[in-house]
Amino acid sequence: MNDLATTTATQQQAPTRKADLRSDRPGGAMLPSTFEEAWRLSEALAKGGGDMIPKHFQGNVGAVFAAIQRGAELGFAPMASMQQIAVINGRPSIWGDALPALVLRAGHRLDEVVEGEGDKAVATATVTRGDTGHQITRTFSMADAKKAGLAGKQGPWQQYPKRMLQMRARGFAVRDGCADVLLGLSVVEEVRDAPQMRDVTPASAAQKMQAIASAGTADPAPADDQIDDHGAQNDATRETTDDHRQADPGETAKEPSEPTGDEIEAARSRGFESFDLGVPLAATPPEYADFPALTKAWKAGWNEGEKAAKAG
């Protein structure tokens, strides 16, 4: 039986322009319209927002300002900007669960389906643009996951493989079909699985000589242009990441590292936002299954959202 997860937006007619997101903010969110207003709001949140904002924003006016500005480009209110956008591996990214909201708000439609079982599972996501009616379909199969080294990976890829296939197909479809919605923002679930890149910029002659002197080497290694064809590497090879290099047969795969402080805080913020969206406390994100710290942070954020709602 197919697993079907469909998100639709009923449209009487294709919109000719995006809706004004300022007019339908729940609760009348405060939206700055000038640099001075944005900076004053950033100062107020950074210095007096307390536990209502993620810890890495507390006391950091510049970071709050940057988050508000980046979120405004996506149509987020200031508080949502700090809760829906997380910095993963140094890259501002958006949670995959927020993608459908952005797509629907822009007047488009997103349909998703996961078919097959086990190694034959395939997720398909289709974006139908509300302005042109054009459809963009992307798939991600278990075969693709194996090729990318994701299948069987500790964490949600073991516990919820179909869900992860769905999230990948969704990310590809939305990024390719709604580039005007994401504006180049990455997707958290993709960035977390991406291999860490290393600096492959060729060292200058001075840097090479300094390294040789520090190592106490008598004879410097030949310059790149002196290496013969048997030892040379072309430019494309120099840009290869560590994950694409030949693995050492005796080297064992490293276990996933524990969540960072930023990731834990992002999980707490996500829980807070989930309460506002009506997500039940029991619906902990499946990708947190093997990370108790993230699960605990998500539930703590959800509870904070409930307390804030009662206090308000």
pLDDT attached to residue 24: 45
Residue 308 maps to a domain: yes
The answer to whether residues 37 and 149 belong to one domain is: yes
pLDDT attached to residue 260: 82
The answer to whether residues 186 and 284 belong to one domain is: no
Structural domain ending residue among the three candidates 140, 163, 191: 191
pLDDT attached to residue 312: 60
Structural domain ending residue among the three candidates 143, 162, 191: 191
Residue 265 maps to a domain: yes
Q: Indicate the number of domains in the chain.
A: 2
pTM of the model: 0.51
The answer to whether residues 277 and 178 belong to one domain is: no
The answer to whether residues 181 and 269 belong to one domain is: no
Task: Per residue of the chain (312 residues), give pLDDT as tens.
Answer: 455 444 443 333 444 444 343 434 444 677 888 889 989 999 999 888 888 888 878 888 988 898 888 888 888 888 888 888 877 777 788 877 788 888 998 999 999 999 999 999 999 999 999 999 999 999 999 999 999 888 888 888 888 899 999 999 999 999 899 988 888 888 877 877 766 555 555 655 556 556 555 555 444 444 444 434 433 334 433 344 344 434 444 444 445 567 787 788 878 878 777 777 777 887 788 777 778 888 888 788 878 878 877 876
Residue 232 maps to a domain: no
Q: Are 293 and 264 in contact (CB under 8 A)?
A: yes
The answer to whether residues 182 and 295 belong to one domain is: no
> What range defines the domain where residue 77 resides?
1-8+31-191
CA gap 190, 172 in Å, rounded: 10
Residue 234 maps to a domain: no
The answer to whether residues 308 and 185 belong to one domain is: no
> What string of H, E and C letters represents the secondary structure of 18-73?
CCCCCCCCCCCCCCCCCHHHHHHHHHHHHHHCHHHCCHHHCCCHHHHHHHHHHHHH
The answer to whether residues 36 and 177 belong to one domain is: yes
pLDDT attached to residue 169: 93
CA gap 63, 51 in Å, rounded: 16
Task: Give the DSSP letter string of the chain.
Answer: --EEEEE----SS--SS---TTTT-TT------SHHHHHHHHHHHHHH-GGGS-GGGTT-HHHHHHHHHHHHHHT--HHHHHHHEEEETTEEEE-GGGHHHHHHHTT-EEEEEEES-GGG-EEEEEEE-TTT--EEEEEEEHHHHHHTT-TT-SSHHHH-HHHHHHHHHHHHHHHHH-HHHHTT-EEHHHHHHSPPP---PPPPHHHHHHHHHHHT-SSPPPPGGGS-TTT---HHHHT--GGGSPPPTTPPPPPPPPPPHHHHHHHHHHHHHHHHTT--TT---GGGTT-HHHHHHHHHHHHHHHHHHHH-
The answer to whether residues 169 and 295 belong to one domain is: no
The answer to whether residues 3 and 119 belong to one domain is: yes
Residue 247 maps to a domain: no
The answer to whether residues 265 and 122 belong to one domain is: no
